[in-house]
Amino acid sequence: MKVKSYLYLLLVLISSITISAQKISTTDQFLSYFNNYQKKELEGIITSDFKFKREFSKVITDRKEFLNKYLEDSQTLIAKFKVIKKPDGKNQNYYVVEDQSQYLKLLDVKFPRWNMTITTTAGKVSQAMLSPTNDYDNYVTELTSKTEKFNSWMEENHPEIDLEKLKDLSQVLEYLNEYVKSKGILLSDLQQYDESAKPAVTVSDSDSLFDNMTCLHRNKFTEVKGLLFILLINLKKYC
């Protein structure tokens, strides 16, 4: 009887973990796929008329350009949207994200933060919109100033290179690395890029799942994980 009881509780707990894991939102999945440059997964989660917009620009990136050029460039620049604030009960699609990239790191520009609104239609992402936060003006000023310094250095040291015509972003990063070294700046002195910028996971590995949940859910899952361990230990006594 005790064995059956333990087995029943074990199945209930496993079932609760599965159900909770399935509740990862579409918007969280979208950001996770983007931060890991998972093109195939993104293709399945965005609509055919998907648009990536910036409130401060007239440029609109459509689905094709987003999946190819934008995602490819993001991977080259090691760009990610680190989630600073996740949606609450009232605003299910609203995030505050920190825009991190190797390009901004090497320019020594403080990573900007954006308000990101992700719109879903019939279970898929139809639009992602970036809008400025309070530090936008400071970001633009710093970016302009440090870009001008880099451009001046390029004109002096590599006059044969026209950065505006340089399509290979990896080469731009190489020049930026050279620029940083020429100024005697140690990479370790620059702001640190967050390699763990993963707002959501959709993998099957349970440990990875527990490690990447929000604090609230992580605590719940840790308790469940502990109960599962206790149940398994006790179950062995009766086997």
Domain holding 115: CATH number?
3.10.450.50
Same domain, 13 and 44: no
* pLDDT value at 222 more than 50: no
Is 178 inside a domain boundary? yes
- Taking residues 146-155, report their average pLDDT: 94
Same domain, 2 and 36: no
Same domain, 135 and 239: no
Same domain, 18 and 59: no
Is 208 inside a domain boundary? no
- Report the C-alpha gap between 22 and 24 in whole angstroms: 6
pLDDT band for position 238 (cuts 50, 70, 90) = very low
- Residues 6-37 have pLDDT tens digits of 555 555 555 554 444 446 889 999 999 999 99
- Report the C-alpha gap between 28 and 8 in whole angstroms: 32
CA 178 centroid distance within chain: 27
Same domain, 62 and 153: yes
Same domain, 18 and 37: no
* Average pLDDT score, the chain: 77
pTM equals: 0.69
Same domain, 17 and 44: no
Is 99 inside a domain boundary? yes
Same domain, 133 and 55: yes
Same domain, 50 and 75: yes
Q: Contact 112/99 with Cβ under 8 angstroms? A: yes
Is 167 inside a domain boundary? yes
More confident residue, 8 or 221: 8
pLDDT band for position 166 (cuts 50, 70, 90) = confident
- Residues 29-83 have pLDDT tens digits of 999 999 999 999 999 999 999 999 999 888 999 999 999 999 999 999 999 999 9
Which pLDDT does position 20 carry in this prediction? 45
Is 209 inside a domain boundary? no
Q: Which residues, in sequence order, are bridge partners of residue 125?
A: 46, 120
Same domain, 13 and 38: no
Which pLDDT does position 164 carry in this prediction? 83
Same domain, 71 and 152: yes
Which pLDDT does position 12 carry in this prediction? 56
- Alpha-carbon torsion, ordered 104, 67, 69, 203, to 10 deg: 40
Which residue, among 108, 118, 117, 73, has the nearest Cα to 188 in the 3D structure?
A: 108
pLDDT band for position 191 (cuts 50, 70, 90) = low
Is 119 inside a domain boundary? yes
Comparing 1-5, 38-42, 94-98, 227-231, the range with the smallest average pLDDT is 227-231
Which pLDDT does position 208 carry in this prediction? 36
Domain that holds residue 13: 1-24+218-239
Which pLDDT does position 11 carry in this prediction? 58
Which pLDDT does position 165 carry in this prediction? 83
Q: Which two tokens stand for residue 177?
A: 């690395």
Structural domain tally of the chain? 2
